[in-house]
């Protein structure tokens, strides 16, 4: 598998518009002839590459992947990503603070 424009074009042929038409990574992998074992790493890498190339591909674990041309849907998706990022940062700070409170002579900066 190579992340290139030709592969992105193939990928886009399998990712539909609209959340109600979303497709899961395993199904995309099957269509592309990629491995479906594990977590579909190759497929997810290609999807990330496609997004970096300017394609609007959204996803949820329950629905799968879809393309969007709906501004509010994209805004909602961005807000959900930011909320997850905030939650992860909060959790990492809590773990660091917990470590530091019980290990005052071996602090994590």
Interval 1-22: pLDDT, tens: 578 999 999 999 999 999 999 9
Residue 82 and residue 40 share a domain? no
Would you place residue 38 in the very low, low, confident or very high pLDDT band (cuts 50, 70, 90)? confident
For the CA atoms of 67, 39, 46, 2, what is the dihedral angle to 10 degrees?
-150
Containing H/E element for 77? helix 71-102
Residue 83 and residue 40 share a domain? no
User: What average pLDDT does range 43-64 have in this prediction?
Assistant: 96
For residue 3, give the CATH number of its domain: 1.10.10.10
What pLDDT, on the 0 to 100 scale, is given for residue 1?
Answer: 56
What pLDDT, on the 0 to 100 scale, is given for residue 40?
Answer: 87
Instruction: Supply the pTM of this predicted model.
Output: 0.85
- Biggest CA–CA distance in the chain, Å, is 56
Query: For the chain, what is the domain count?
Result: 2
> What is the Cα–Cα distance from 21 to 78, expressed in whole angstroms?
20
| Average per-residue pLDDT for the chain | 95
Residue 55 and residue 5 share a domain? yes
Two tokens, residue 21: 């038409």
Residue 77 and residue 42 share a domain? no
Are 62 and 23 contacting, i.e. CB atoms less than 8 angstroms apart?
A: no
Q: Which domain holds residue 106?
A: 70-109
Q: Report CA torsion sign: 4, 9, 18, 31.
A: negative
């Amino acid at each position: 598998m190579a992340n290139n424009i030709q592969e992105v074009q193939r990928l886009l042929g399998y990712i539909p518009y609209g959340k109600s038409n979303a497709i899961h990574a395993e199904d995309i992998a099957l269509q592309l002839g990629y491995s479906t074992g594990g977590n579909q790493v190759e497929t997810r890498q290609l999807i990330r590459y496609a997004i970096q190339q300017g394609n609007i591909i959204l996803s949820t674990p329950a629905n799968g992947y879809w393309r969007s041309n709906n501004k509010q849907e994209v805004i909602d998706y961005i807000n959900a990503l930011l909320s997850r990022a905030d939650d992860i940062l909060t959790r990492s700070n809590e773990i660091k603070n917990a470590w530091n409170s019980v290990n005052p002579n071996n602090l994590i900066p």
